[in-house]
A and B are shown apart, each in its own frame.
Chain A
Amino acid sequence: MIKVNGISKSFKVAKRSTGVGHALKGLFHREYTTVEALRDISFSIEPGEIVGYIGPNGAGKSTTIKVMSGILVPDRGSCSIMGYTPWMERVPYVKNIGVVFGQRSQLWWDVPVMDSFQLLRDIYKVPEPEYRANLTLLIETLDLNEIVNTPVRQLSLGQRMRCEIAASLLHSPQILFLDEPTIGLDAVSKIAVRHFIQTINQEKGVTVILTTHDMNDIEALAKRIILIGKGSLLYDGNLQALRSRFGTRKTITADYRETDIPLDIPGVSVLSWSTERAVLSVDTEQVMISDVLTQLSRQVELLDVTIDTQPIEDIIVQLYKEYQIS
């Protein structure tokens, strides 16, 4: 469905230096540096996938989305989405995609949401029965009934984002690009948005590509992630594999009856120790968790034990470090 092959893109950026003198000089003469936003990016995405596209700020996420949605023309490389080259056949192509820029609204600010929806219907030339059906479904699943007649400027961020997502789906696109859809949302709205993305993916088979900084989004939605840093593709695969590759450390917190004897378990590093509680770090590739637990119960009188998997955030930070991109 989506085939991206060797996309590269560089931008010329004016050098900026501080100081009035330099600013004045910049009025007449500017030096440019070339920034390589994307270097030889290739991947392909099958219909019905949800792909999390992640990377630190300035990694090239938005540039990729812009290339894939036909806004930008890359310097090199090819891209075929549903048989179209996005930047060559912009008008027929964009009918098939929906795009949500989390930081920018696509709704008309001063009029009720419904008016925006109707205008979008006319822009995309959506046939009336299809529009009706989509609208009913969207209003129901996104719980928009009470807000569609409110002007956009009076909506909360969470309400607005739900409307934005609805607006991008009125023309039944087969691919949905979400650029930071949960940015700035409270926990309840985030969950509602995630839930909805899952629903349209499962029920309508919409392929979803989402960029985000919130690893919970990824964990809840995407089976597959593509990691990009400084314009290069660093990792493409499923979350589980990433975990088993980088997230092999587990943390064990043990509470026990007061004792003065320090713990001594081979292959385990002690992160903190007191007479009643110890926090241990275990590399599961070297030591089995069950062995550690056995050892623990022998040495102390256990009251409570919790085992934590390394959070995905930490794995990502580790990855960034490994590729030296943070």
Chain B
Amino acid sequence: MKLYFQYLVILFKSQVQYRTSFWLLTLGQFFIPFSIFAGLYFLFERFGQIKDWNFYEVALCFAVIHMAFAISECFARGFDAFSSLVVAGDFDRLLVRPRSTVVQVLGSKFEFTRFGRLVQSIIVLVFAVSNLPIEWTVLKGVALFLMIASGVFIFTGIYMLAATLCFWTIQGLEVANIFTDGGREMAQYPLNIYHKWVSRFFTFVIPFGCVNYFPLLYILGKTSANSDLYVLTPLAGFIFILPCLLVWQFGVRRYRSTGS
């Protein structure tokens, strides 16, 4: 963990070497989800509500998933951009250092400009929360925190799977974006507005539903009685990363036996 922080510092120093591009990219990252959010706003302006969800509730959902996405893109960018590491042959270099490959890949790249996106989603979060009549309890606070943290883990897990595929394909796979960008677009709305199979897929295969939907019901008080268990649903996101890690280890082993 300490090492991860050292990587963070050195790459932050690198990134601020290019100040202008840093600020421009950060600004850009601020406005990209902003336009998506504007779309959300106009949608609700026109239709009032979707199923039984109103604008602010969906905004909360939106903010959580975008925060998780921004954080994971910033701190797990190494896996997201892993193909460049393999193409350049720099993965060999990681293998001759006495640390786990996961930490080293995580530490190989950070995308600090994603702070723009993070700030934007924090603004949306504050905006949504202040407009919702939620009676906050400690458990609800915990649930909100777990939602974001668990989301970060799920995105990281997907990056990891995509990165593993690079061992076979060498090139980065745009396919994985179906699950990262696609998952993000899906999960910014409450899951029950979708078709059954879609919501099932995003509950049991990639557990975005456990991150966003179930705890959201709890926070908004939309659950039936005896619902404290809902707080724990985001843990599915933490569990999701375990098979991803195994798959990653498998990929590394294959790389070392084929050398491609």
Q: A residues engaging B (CB < 8 A)?
A: 9, 11-12, 63, 66, 69-73, 87, 90-92, 94-95, 97, 99, 101, 104, 106, 108-111, 115-116, 118-119, 122-125, 151
Contacts and interface: CB of A to CB of B under 8 A. Distances in A.
B37 interface: no
Given A91-B99, A123-B97, 20 more contacts: A63-B259, A70-B95, A71-B92, A71-B96, A73-B256, A73-B257, A94-B98, A99-B96, A104-B89, A104-B92, A104-B93, A110-B13, A110-B17, A111-B14, A115-B10, A118-B6, A119-B7, A122-B2, A123-B99, A124-B97
Sort A-B residue pairs by CB-CB distance and give the 6 closest, nearest first.
A110-B14, A95-B98, A73-B257, A71-B95, A99-B96, A110-B17
Interface of B: 2-3, 6-7, 10-11, 13-15, 17-18, 88-90, 92-93, 95-100, 256-260
Interface of A is mostly: mixed
A94 B95 CA distance: 8
A91 B98 contact: yes
Contact of B10 (A73, A108, A124): A108
Contacts of A95: 98
Contacts of B17: 110-111, 151
A134 B10 CA distance: 22
Contact of B90 (A94, A104, A124): A104
15 contacts: A63-B259, A66-B92, A71-B92, A71-B96, A72-B257, A90-B98, A91-B100, A104-B89, A104-B90, A106-B93, A109-B14, A111-B10, A123-B99, A124-B97, A151-B17
Nearest to B254: A73
B259 A66 contact: yes
Contacts of B90: 104
B3 A122 contact: yes
B139 to A, nearest CB: 39
A71 B10 CA distance: 25
Contacts of A71: 92, 95-96, 256, 259
Contacts of B260: 11
A124 B6 CA distance: 13
B98 A92 contact: yes
Contacts of B258: 11-12
A9 B100 CA distance: 25
Contact of B13 (A12, A97, A115): A115
Contacts of A63: 259
Nearest to A111: B13
B231 to A, nearest CB: 37
A124 B14 CA distance: 21
A113 B199 CA distance: 51
A124 B96 contact: no
B52 to A, nearest CB: 48
A106 B90 CA distance: 8
Nearest to A13: B260
Contacts of A119: 6-7, 10
Residue picked from B14, B92, B93, B96, most chain A C-beta under 10 Å: B96
A72 B259 contact: yes
A165 B97 CA distance: 15
A245 to B, nearest CB: 34
Contacts of A116: 10
Contacts of B18: 110
Contacts of B13: 110-111, 115
Contact of A123 (B3, B15, B88, B256): B3
A25 B92 CA distance: 31
A104 B88 contact: yes
B241 to A, nearest CB: 21
A150 B177 CA distance: 38
Contacts of A110: 13-15, 17-18
Contacts of B100: 91
A279 to B, nearest CB: 46
Contacts of A73: 256-257
A30 to B, nearest CB: 12
B190 to A, nearest CB: 41
